[in-house]
């Protein structure tokens, strides 16, 4: 699938064509139901460098991060390969790599992006990836959330409309 890489494939692509990839911007997340907040966030992230790579939580890691709760469907809603395909098709995204861990620390240690990006709803003190980025001299940027929407809120809205 174009734009979706295994970690070894992505490492090789970056090594072979660093001018195409660097400065590399990296972000990560579940991206379960793509919404305008995601699109604006990814566009803003891409503007910080030459390429944007998205670390996509695997189905297994999404289930660990977002355990099922009563009255809500199990997550993810969309399977990982379909989420990866949608992300890879977005204009700002140059590459997608799926990872099984609950944090992107291993990906960051391997890829060493020039800039690690998360949404402004996070803070540097609680992001587990930040020390890894700083260890090799990378930069961390928090992007202001333009549209306050979330996959959880979308799911809740759908469920509420079904139950009414």
Q: What value does the mean pLDDT take over residues 62-89?
A: 89
Other C-beta atoms closer than 10 Å to the C-beta of 159 total 13
pLDDT, mean over the chain: 91
Q: pTM for the full model?
A: 0.90
8 A C-beta contact, residue 35 and residue 149: yes
Domain edges within the chain: 4-163
Cis before residue 23, ω within 30 degrees of 0?
A: yes
CATH topology of domain 4-163: Rossmann fold (3.40.50)
143-160 pLDDT tens trace: 987 666 665 665 566 656
Q: What is the pLDDT of residue 66?
A: 85
15-55 pLDDT tens trace: 999 999 999 999 999 998 888 889 999 999 999 999 999 99
**Residue 126 scores a pLDDT above 60:** yes
8 A C-beta contact, residue 45 and residue 123: no
Nearest CA to 151 among 107, 114, 117, 119?
119
**Residue 78 scores a pLDDT above 80:** yes
Per-state percent for the chain, helix, strand, coil, to nearest 5: 40, 20, 40
8 A C-beta contact, residue 132 and residue 109: yes
């Amino acid at each position: 699938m174009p734009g979706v890489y295994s970690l070894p494939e992505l490492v090789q692509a970056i090594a072979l064509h660093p001018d195409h990839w660097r400065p590399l911007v990296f972000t990560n997340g579940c991206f379960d139901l793509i919404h305008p907040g995601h699109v604006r966030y990814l566009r803003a992230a891409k503007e910080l460098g030459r390429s944007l790579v998205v670390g996509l939580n695997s189905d297994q890691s999404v289930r660990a991060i977002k355990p099922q709760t009563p009255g809500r469907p199990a997550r993810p809603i969309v399977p990982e390969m379909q989420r990866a395909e949608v992300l890879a098709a977005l204009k700002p995204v140059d590459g997608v790599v799926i990872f099984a861990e609950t944090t992107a620390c291993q990906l960051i240690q391997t890829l060493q992006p020039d800039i690690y990006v998360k949404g402004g709803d996070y803070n540097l003190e609680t992001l587990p990836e930040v020390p890894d980025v700083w260890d090799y001299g990378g930069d961390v940027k928090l992007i202001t959330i333009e549209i306050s929407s979330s996959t959880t809120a979308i799911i809740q809205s759908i469920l509420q409309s079904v139950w009414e």
